């Protein structure tokens, strides 16, 4: 990340604005700390991993998930409503012929309420500018070499619409439980910059 | 005309840097800015679209020089001034 200002300067600026807003009655004491705790206890890639594992073991769920993710994730006790407003979630699944990858070229739109904070690289100009022009090259930088025959679809998120990728189920995992399968899934897999 | 935030397909940016074991926030103030924005939107001081717009109309050189959450605090103070919550002078850290 760029940024030339020393942390102490900007930290003082943030404290000043907070104190000003408290004095004007626009912030309650302890409100900020409460919101931070709530956020950190909220969304997590583990939610996406659970959804993925269920989709791998239950084809009916997978079908409902791809058709209407907002509805389907309620079946596993999750929702997109945890943030400032409920956003539409579209889930796309990788296949032998097609790989999906998610970006927000304009800013940093990401299913935060479901998956927690996005990684720094997702928010970087480098990723946002390049993945739409050269997805194969960018995926290679992440160590993901796809066959030339695999089609790559890039999904550009917006203020109202967020995306999540369901990676392909790795071979040799037939004997694993749903919980064990979920443990294989990474945040990068859910964005599409890793195979799983 | 597109704004500076509209970088999709733009050439000239460097390789993507991944940070192993990246924390959700890199400093306390980042977490505070994140929470402050949520609190102000919830109170209806401004809405999410106004917030994004305030980031996206930053002068290009400032936008590119700022870190992610520096853009947020810039947008927050811009909107607080524009909405008449506080004057730009009041929003500035006082100098001794």
Query: Residue with structure tokens 């931070």?
Result: A36
Average pLDDT over residues B91-96: 82
Which uninterrupted H or E stretch holds A43?
none
Q: How high is the pLDDT of residue B1?
A: 66
Q: Which of A108, A124, A153, A161 is catalytic?
A: A108
Q: How high is the pLDDT of residue A167?
A: 98
- Domains of chain B, by residue range, sit at 48-83
Q: Is A194 on the interface with B (CB under 8 A)?
A: no
pLDDT higher than threshold 50 for residue B81: yes
Q: Which of A2, A7, A8, A104 is catalytic?
A: A104
Give the nearest chain B residue to A1 (CA atoms).
B67
Instruction: Quote the percentage of chain B above a pLDDT of 90.
Output: 75
Task: Test B8 with A116 for CB contact under 8 angstroms.
Answer: no
CB A168 within 8 A of CB A27: no
pLDDT digits (tens, 9 = 90+) for B3-17: 888 889 888 888 888
- Can you tell me the distance from the alpha carbon of A110 to that of A54, in angstroms, rounded to the nearest whole number? 21
- Can you tell me the distance from the alpha carbon of A47 to that of A42, in angstroms, rounded to the nearest whole number? 10
- At the fourth CATH level, the homologous superfamily of domain A45-191 is Nitrile hydratase alpha /Thiocyanate hydrolase gamma (3.90.330.10)
Task: Test A120 with B65 for CB contact under 8 angstroms.
Answer: no
- Can you tell me the distance from the alpha carbon of A113 to that of A6, in angstroms, rounded to the nearest whole number? 30
Mean pLDDT, rounded, of chain A: 93
Active site residue A158: no
Quote the DSSP letter at residue A89: E
Would the annotation count A107 as a binding residue?
yes
Average pLDDT over residues B63-72: 94
Per CB-CB distance under 8 Å, the chain B contacts of A123 are 68
User: Would you place residue B96 in the very low, low, confident or very high pLDDT band (cuts 50, 70, 90)?
Assistant: low
Q: How high is the pLDDT of residue A110?
A: 94
Q: Which residues contact B22 (CB under 8 A, 6 or more apart)?
A: A119, A120
- Can you tell me the distance from the alpha carbon of A179 to that of A192, in angstroms, rounded to the nearest whole number? 21
Active site residue A104: yes
Active site residue A118: no
Q: Which residues contact A80 (CB under 8 A, 6 or more apart)?
A: A69, A70, A73, A86, A87, A88, A89, A111, A113, A114, A162
Q: Give the residues of chain A that fall short of pLDDT 50.
A: 1-2
At what angle are helices B68-82 and A7-23 packed, to 10 degrees? 30
- Domains of chain A, by residue range, sit at 7-40, 45-191
Q: How high is the pLDDT of residue A1?
A: 45
């Amino acid at each position: 990340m760029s940024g030339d200002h020393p942390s102490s300067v900007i930290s003082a600026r943030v404290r000043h604005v907070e104190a000003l807003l408290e004095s004007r009655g626009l912030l309650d004491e302890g409100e900020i700390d409460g919101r931070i705790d709530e956020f950190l206890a909220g969304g997590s890639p583990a939610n996406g991993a659970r959804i993925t594992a269920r989709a791998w073991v239950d084809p009916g769920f997978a079908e409902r998930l791809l058709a209407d993710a907002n509805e389907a994730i309620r079946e596993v006790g999750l929702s997109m409503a945890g943030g400032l407003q409920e956003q539409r979630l579209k889930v796309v699944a990788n296949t032998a012929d097609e790989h999906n990858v998610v970006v927000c070229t304009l800013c940093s739109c990401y299913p935060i309420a479901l998956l927690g904070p996005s990684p720094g690289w997702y928010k970087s100009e480098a990723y946002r500018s390049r993945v739409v022009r050269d997805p194969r090259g960018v995926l290679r930088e992440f160590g993901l070499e796809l066959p030339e025959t695999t089609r790559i679809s890039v999904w550009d998120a917006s203020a109202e619409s967020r995306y999540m990728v369901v990676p392909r189920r790795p071979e040799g995992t037939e004997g694993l439980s749903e919980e064990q399968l979920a443990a294989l899934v990474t945040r990068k897999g859910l964005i599409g910059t890793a195979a799983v | 005309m597109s704004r500076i935030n509209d970088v999709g397909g733009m050439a000239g940016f460097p390789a993507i840097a991944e940070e192993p074991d990246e924390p959700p926030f890199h400093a306390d103030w980042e977490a505070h800015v994140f929470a402050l924005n949520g609190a102000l939107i919830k109170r209806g001081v401004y809405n999410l679209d106004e917030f994004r717009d305030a980031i996206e109309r930053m002068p290009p050189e400032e936008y590119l020089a700022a870190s992610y959450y520096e853009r947020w605090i810039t947008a927050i103070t811009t909107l607080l001034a524009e909405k008449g919550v506080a004057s730009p002078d009041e929003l500035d850290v006082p100098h001794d």
